[in-house]
Amino acid sequence: MAKRTALSAGAAPAASVAAPTARRDAASTSATELEESQLITAAYRFLLRGGSASISVAAILAEAGLSTRAFYRHFASKDELLLAMFRADFETSLQQLRRRLAQTTSPVAALEAWVTHMIALAFDDKRRQRFNVMTCAEVQGAEGYAQERARVAQELGGILEQILTDGLHTGEFPTAEPGIDARALNAVTEMFLMERAWGATTLTAPEAERLTMSLARRALGYTGS
């Protein structure tokens, strides 16, 4: 009995050490994530101001108030940071879209949600601002940007293609050719993005949505109200 008590007493310190260690690890992870977020936010702010034709690691660090060592703890190069910024922005937008789609109950409602989300990229000031930063020459010049942009287009296109496929199966979109039609509708929304960026349209967001949905309904054979 005395022996078992001694063993139990001996095990207690190990448990008491484990908890503070776990807390330290969690705090370290949190600090690391915060540092990375600070760097990404600093790069975004710098590019948003457009104060320079080119952004440097030194400029990012000055904006973030962090050291060179902090930068290279997270990123091997400026390009790697810019791609991380691009990915983070896309993931945020994608989550917003998925939440919107999760609230829909039919393919046509899902299509309307997709169109609304994409049109907002062009017409909502804050979202258009972010889009302009993510497609500026500096970000587009980052090594690996073309591949990331292609991945984004493929993922967004895949979501739309699935919506059209569902509508084909339910009969809401009887003439749909999901692969081709998804590409065509994506091109329409990208046109609005470009026109807004160039100041080449006087349309409002609701008007752009109506035009896009009118085109989609005719192309997909939707006859509902």
For residue 163, pLDDT beyond 80: yes
pLDDT on residue 166: 97
Instruction: Tell me the one-letter amino acid at 153.
Output: A
pLDDT tens string 42-95:
999 999 887 455 889 999 999 999 999 999 999 999 999 999 999 999 999 999
Mention every residue, 6+ apart, whose C-beta is less than 8 A from residue 168: 174, 176, 178
At residue 14 the predicted structure's pLDDT band, cuts being 50, 70 and 90, is low
pLDDT tens string 96-136:
999 999 999 999 999 999 999 999 988 888 887 888 888 88
For residue 177, pLDDT beyond 90: yes
pLDDT on residue 212: 95
